[in-house]
Chain A
Amino acid sequence: MIDSTILSRFQFAFTLAYHYLFPQFTMGLALLIVVLKGLYLRTGQDIYNRATFFWGRLLAITFVMGVVTGIPMEFQFGTNWSRFSADAGDIIAQTLAMEGAFAFFLESAFLGVFLFGERLVGQKLHFVSAILVWLGTWASGGFIIATNAWMQHPVGYSITPGGRLELTNYWAVLTNSWAFVEYLHTMTGAVITAAFVMAGLGALYVLSNRHVDYGRLFVTIGVIVGVIASIIQLFPFGDAEGRQVADIQPAKLAAIEGVFKTQAGAGIVILGQPDPAKSQLDNAIIIPNVLSFLTYRRWTAVVRGLDTFPANQRPDAIEMTLAYYTYHIMVGLGTIFIAIMGLAVLLLWRRRLFTTRWMLWILFLAMPFPFIANTAGWFTAEIGRQPWIAFGLMRTASGSSPLLSTGTVLFTLLGFAGMYLMLGLLYILLVVGEALRGPSASEAEGKVATAESFLD
């Protein structure tokens, strides 16, 4: 049954997944830019400063995309999820509004200072503004995670006689244990994205024998940051996230791991297609006892299956299947990232990376995959939480706006689709233009883009 609630879910999922393509890159990149600018101030070598400007230009384009696609997210709580907003706004709006007060003003003000350049503001303030932009983006992420963490694991509230939720403990909301683990997991994912993009673009430069000095610098920084981030993402952060899910949302764990029946010594599913109607996995490849060990640190521990949850307390068939796949995509890619970055660092250490073309090809082609992994991770978290909008407190179907018609929501959903298609094409045009022109292009040439020839 397609109703306006399900269309609102599509619209929120689409606009949010699209939006998050940009912040995951800017949050990671802001950190790498601080590193580049810091290296310049330390060594005085011009290459670092030019690299800072180059990535600063890409940061600016991406940041604009993040801002313009982010504004609809705050609006949609009210437009599409008015009952949730009215009943839980006492709590979730605190953290959302704090993002505005503490992160947005900081980011927007100092990104302007950073982009207008060192000539206007001097080296010191330029470096400080790079740091403030980085802190602003990471604070932004923190408040959003705190909001989402409350939806995953509500704390610090009470229920009024009228059925609304009221904030009773502000610190409990900000220091939600769920938020802590989720934040580390999410931010590390963002760093992985930026590291892969930097390494991938560097690999392209080395492979195509253009801007080679910059290419080597980008690959070096990308793979060193990438290998560290990829490893800590699996352990301890990913591991902690998984155990937290097992502890607080066991139905989600059962869904994403494909555990239909409660069992002792549960195995971990590497591959296989869930068949929810028959409660089984087809073509499954399972390593026995590993899931029990990873979750409870005992090889024979009992893992609850979907069969122990009433149908209205767990994801339905299609949600379960989607969460299962997105989770396996995320974990599978995360494992591959460690292998790629580990191998690249090994070759870098043996001083063979820049002559090993197949490895550079892999780094170049790997660029899109962290975006996919991060997106898949968010689908796992959000779909796996269903049927709840606030876990255990409010159902998604009870949170939507009551008077919206399907026609209205479909109209705006299609409008967003068209708008975002256009934005995506523009973004690609500009980013590819910047990347092809490269970091060694002077700022005067900076105006002459590749697209000029066919537009004039």
Chain B
Amino acid sequence: MQTLWFILVAFMLIMYVVLDGFDLGAGAIHLFAAHNNQERRTILRSIGPVWDGNEVWLIATGGTLFFTFPILYASSFSGFYLPLIVVLWLLMLRGVAIELRSRIASRMWGEFWDVVFFFGSALLAVFFGAAAGNVVRGVPLDKQGNFFEPFWTNPLDPRAALPGILDWYTVLIGLLALAALTAHGANWIAVKSEGDLNLRSRVIARWAWVATIVLTAAGTIATFAIQPAMGKSYTTRPWGFIFPLIAIAGLAGMGYFNWRKQDLRAFLSSAAYLVGMLASSAFGIYPNVLPAVNPANSLTIYNASASQYALTVGLIWWSIGIILALIYFFIVYRRFYGKVSVAEHGEGY
């Protein structure tokens, strides 16, 4: 039951990264991809109807994590107190920027929110990557399962007894996340746009792809060096190599379809890459959910989970809820399928 929930929570988190990932990526590049107000609004319109729903996956993941692994939720949220609150502020600023930018037709107003949207999106991508880096690297859990990490302690030594949120390893993973989401977002804009904007997005996607390859290689080597449990998972359960293979296939597809100018396939490839990378990480730390610097204190799916009864009851209503959610998403994405055009009417983003 715990293993099943580990998979389901990982599934929700991956859904979140793949979905919100493209609108974060779109925000991170919109200053460079769009050269005029019309193109800016095209980008905003392409994510406008869906960003809020995408972000709900984060909230729903948080809620599901809370009821399936309450001890993990309590420990990690209080331990990552500072970065989480900063993430909250960034999410707020970014959401407000998307929603308010086009409500007042003023150049200054638009410029201000464009910059907020850019910083909010780019920093969130880096922070999410760094958070993933922290989870893989391990945190200084005490015997009661508590810890508190400051932003940094000794950034040059990820193996310190009391590491901080940011060190060279977690920043490296943060940059990897930024590159990958940039490529993902650029692919999305390419799918949803035409003309110059479409061409520029494709160029950005290509450069981001190159950066992603380099950083993926560096990140992978660093990860196996820093977290030995990672390698052990793969040697004891070799079938897990399927996940890195998905990531590599996605990475190859991103480049190939970009070159062939097949935007939708390139977008699906970057989605596959993200799925592969996240699944590889989740597979690598299992059965831990939060590795500790001192491995004896690690939180695992067994010592951090809710009671069997709560997990069982939860599975019933969760299944119903998630099926309904997928139906809504299908309806909404189908309604807003296709290229975006701003000229047709003035309402909205």
Contact = CB atoms under 8 A, between A and B. Distances in A.
A403 interface: yes
Interface residues of B, number: 71
B335 A90 contact: no
Contact of B309 (A102, A104, A167): A167
Interface in A258-301: none
B187 interface: no
Interface in A230-268: none
A86 B75 contact: yes
Contacts of A120: 335
Given A113-B332, A448-B105, A68 B74 contact: no
Interface in B325-340: 325, 328-329, 331-332, 335-336
B217 interface: no
12 contacts: A60-B99, A64-B95, A71-B88, A74-B63, A86-B73, A90-B307, A401-B78, A401-B81, A430-B104, A447-B102, A449-B106, A451-B104
Contacts of A102: 317, 321, 324
Contacts of A72: 85, 88
Interface in B51-66: 52-53, 55-56, 59-60, 62-64, 66
A10 interface: no
A67 B306 contact: no
Interface stretch (B272-280, B287-295, B341-349): B341-349
A423 B63 contact: no
Interface of B: 49-50, 52-53, 55-56, 59-60, 62-64, 66-67, 70-71, 73-79, 81-82, 84-85, 88-89, 91-93, 95-96, 99-100, 102-109, 144-148, 306-307, 309-310, 313-314, 317-318, 320-322, 324-325, 328-329, 331-332, 335-336, 345-348
Contacts of A455: 104, 106, 108-109
Contact of A97 (B67, B148, B347): B67
Nearest 3 A/B pairs, CB to CB: A89-B70, A78-B77, A101-B321
Contacts of B99: 60-61, 64
Q: Which of B49, B88, B144 has the most CB of A within 10 A?
A: B88
Given A94-B67, A170-B313, A430 B60 contact: no
A88 B320 CA distance: 24
A116 B348 contact: yes
B194 to A, nearest CB: 20
A101 B104 contact: no
Contact of A79 (B77, B104, B105, B346): B77
Given A93-B63, A402-B146, A448-B105, A79 B85 contact: yes
Question: What interface size band does chain A fall in?
Answer: 35 or more
Contacts of B78: 78-80, 82, 401-404
A108 interface: yes
Prevailing SS type, chain B contact patch: helix
A135 to B, nearest CB: 12
B348 A115 contact: yes
Prevailing SS type, chain A contact patch: helix
B49 A112 contact: yes
Contact of B71 (A86, A166, A426, A433): A86
B332 A78 contact: no
A449 B331 contact: no
B321 A403 contact: no
A419 B108 contact: no
Contact of B74 (A86, A96, A99): A86
A313 B341 CA distance: 63
A89 B77 CA distance: 13
A355 interface: no
A367 to B, nearest CB: 22
Contacts of A412: 81-82, 85
Given A64-B95, A64-B99, 6 more contacts: A85-B74, A97-B314, A101-B60, A105-B60, A408-B82, A423-B92
B66 A93 contact: yes
B21 to A, nearest CB: 17
B62 to A, nearest CB: 6
B88 A166 contact: no
A75 B56 contact: no
